Amino acid sequence: MGILDTLKTIKNEGFDAKKDNISNSSRLEAGSYPVRLKSAQVGVSKSAQTQIALALEVVSGDQKNRLEIIYISFDDGLPEFVLDKNGRILLKIAAMADIEFTNKDLEDEYTAAQKLEKGIGSQFSMKLTLGKNKKNPEFPYRNYEFTPLAGENPAGAFTDIEDDDLPF
């Protein structure tokens, strides 16, 4: 898409350069989305915490191709409830991607992310809800539930297809 097409699209979406902000929220709204695990990477946050960044991409619907990035950390000093939530997110996404961790996979965030990379492409359903954040109302808490996609094979499961069923 060239410059003219891009600007036409932005204008057709209702952007008014005289009144509107340049930045718009790229975060998904609350709702249920079919997603796929796009990546699992490790980085260091501004507060020097090692964290896993899980990128989930919406695979269909109005929000297709939008990303939800979930950052989870297990650094010392984090409150127990945060560690618990992060652990549940990690285990749930691994289950949705049909990944079973060994003790060696869980030595640190790097080895855990490396194991999760084997599940890239796995698809499942994500339900996103938003909760009030009293300290910073502009950034509500993001809560997740993950379930298998309805009517789909679980991650990693393939249906056997006979040669006679192939179209060629």
Instruction: Note the pLDDT of residue 19.
Output: 73
Within-domain flag for 161: no
Within-domain flag for 22: no
Closest CA to 54 of 87, 90, 104, 25: 90
CB atoms within 10 A of CB 53: 16
Within-domain flag for 51: yes
Instruction: Note the pLDDT of residue 21.
Output: 67
- 168 vs 138, residue with greater confidence: 138
Within-domain flag for 75: yes
Q: Report the number of distinct structural domains present in the chain.
A: 1
CA distance 54 to 110: 12
Structural contact between residues 97 and 114, judged by C-beta atoms closer than 8 angstroms: no
Instruction: Note the pLDDT of residue 83.
Output: 95
Within-domain flag for 146: no
* Domain extent at residue 41: 35-121
Within-domain flag for 44: yes
What 3 state SS string does the chain have? Answer: CCHHHHHHHHHHCCCCCCCCCCCCCCCCCCEEEEEEEEEEEEEECCCCCEEEEEEEEECCCCCCCCEEEEEEECCCCCCHHHHHHHHHHHHHHHHHCCCCCCCHHHCCHHHHHHHHHHHCCCEEEEEEEEECCCCCCCCCEEEEEEECCCCCCCCCCCCCCCHHHCCC
Instruction: Note the pLDDT of residue 4.
Output: 84
CA torsion, points 126, 129, 133, 137, in degrees to nearest 10?
Answer: 100
Q: How confident is the model at residue 25 (pLDDT cuts 50, 70, 90)?
A: low
**Predicted confidence (pLDDT) per residue in 102-121, tens digit:** 999 999 999 999 999 999 99
CB atoms within 10 A of CB 35: 27
Whole-number average pLDDT of the chain: 87
**Predicted confidence (pLDDT) per residue in 62-110, tens digit:** 899 899 999 999 999 999 999 999 999 999 999 999 999 999 999 999 9
Closest CA to 54 of 109, 131, 136, 134: 109
Within-domain flag for 60: yes
CA distance 144 to 27: 14
Instruction: Note the pLDDT of residue 155.
Output: 46
Within-domain flag for 59: yes
Mention every residue, 6+ apart, whose C-beta is less than 8 A from residue 7. Answer: none
| pLDDT reading at 57 higher than 90 | yes
| pLDDT reading at 158 higher than 50 | no
pTM of this structure: 0.75
